Amino acid sequence: MNSVVRLIGVRQGFGTHQVLTDLDLEVRRGEVLGLLGANGSGKSTLLRIVAGIDTAQSGVVELGGTTDGPLRIGALLDPAWLDDRLTCRQHLVIAHLYAHGRVRRSSVQAALTAVGLSEAERRRVKHLSLGMRQRLALALALVDEPDVLVLDEPLNGLDPDGVLWMRELLRDFASSGRSVLLSSHLMAEMERIATRVVLLADGSLSPLVSGSRMQNAVRLRAESRAEELVRALAAAGADVVVTADSSILVRGMEPARVFHTATSSGAVLSHLVSEAQTLEEQYRDATSNRQR
């Protein structure tokens, strides 16, 4: 895949607090890239830099062009910026006028229909639910027909139907050759939506995976020589974690090789099973490893 956005060595801080530290990021064409991280980890700061709203203190931000010209980015970062006094239709009329220099009634109506707000087009924002505000903000992000969508917690406030709708919209957007960068605290949905997931912690990114690329792991228990086994697996290049229940979780090594390493180290196994880690488990392991 070709990169459409690249951040190289980006640093950003506020006062003496450094939020992003020599951060590297690549958004690839045709993917939905998920961003996970704790509150205060810098997710919104990173998204604002990608969207061009904020400028990094240092580092390089590269935007790849398209055959139609410069890369176009649409952003949904905070629906609170919507004007409570304006209706849904008025917001879209202003956005179309700003983006295209003209307003076509059919385009405004199509945008309202696409996000399920046709029946609420004359309702003022102050009378909209959070989910409806999210839909309107997304419609505004799509006005300029962007190549990349940058979304901060787009699932907030959506009912189950809205979550399903958002999931399909983002998948279709990416399958057309465009790209999505989004943050969400809903890891089960991130697992379904994203084609790739990264974790932001301590100012830098580390990769996680999701969906069909879910990372396989081998979980085992050793009745004897467990410590020797852990050392042997690590020496062979595996990522090894001893969990709270004293089982050994091994990633990056096939089950047959794990078994061979165990027998070679003299360990006696009582349990060995291959399993796919959920995104939540990966997040938990990654954050616990960083805290050690």
What pLDDT does residue 213 have?
Answer: 45
Q: What is the pLDDT of residues 108-159, one digit of tens each?
A: 999 999 999 999 999 999 999 999 999 999 999 999 999 999 999 999 999 9
What pLDDT does residue 159 have?
Answer: 93
Strand ranges of the sheet holding 239-242, from the earlier edge strand across to the other edge: 239-242, 248-251, 216-224, 268-276
Look at residue 263 and give its three-state secondary structure.
helix
Structure token pair of residue 156: 């907030």
**pLDDT exceeding 90 applies to what percent of the chain?**
72
Asked if 196 and 214 count as a contact pair (C-beta separation under 8 A), the reply is: no
pLDDT reading at 272 higher than 80:
yes
**pLDDT exceeding 70 applies to what percent of the chain?**
93
Q: For residue 28, report the phi and psi dihedrals to the nearest 5 degrees.
A: -100, 150
CATH number assigned to the domain with residue range 216-276, chosen from the 4 options 3.40.309.10, 3.30.56.10, 3.30.70.100, 2.40.420.20: 3.30.70.100
pLDDT reading at 214 higher than 60:
no
What pLDDT does residue 212 have?
Answer: 43
Domain parsing of the chain, residue ranges: 1-72+146-203, 81-139, 216-276
> Which run of H or E residues covers position 207?
strand 204-208
> What kind of fold does domain 1-72+146-203 have according to CATH?
Rossmann fold (3.40.50)
Q: What is the pLDDT of residues 231-246, one digit of tens each?
A: 999 999 888 888 888 8
Q: What is the pLDDT of residues 9-63, one digit of tens each?
A: 999 999 888 999 999 999 999 999 999 999 999 999 999 999 999 999 999 999 9
What whole-number distance in Å separates Cα of residue 20 and Cα of residue 175? Answer: 30
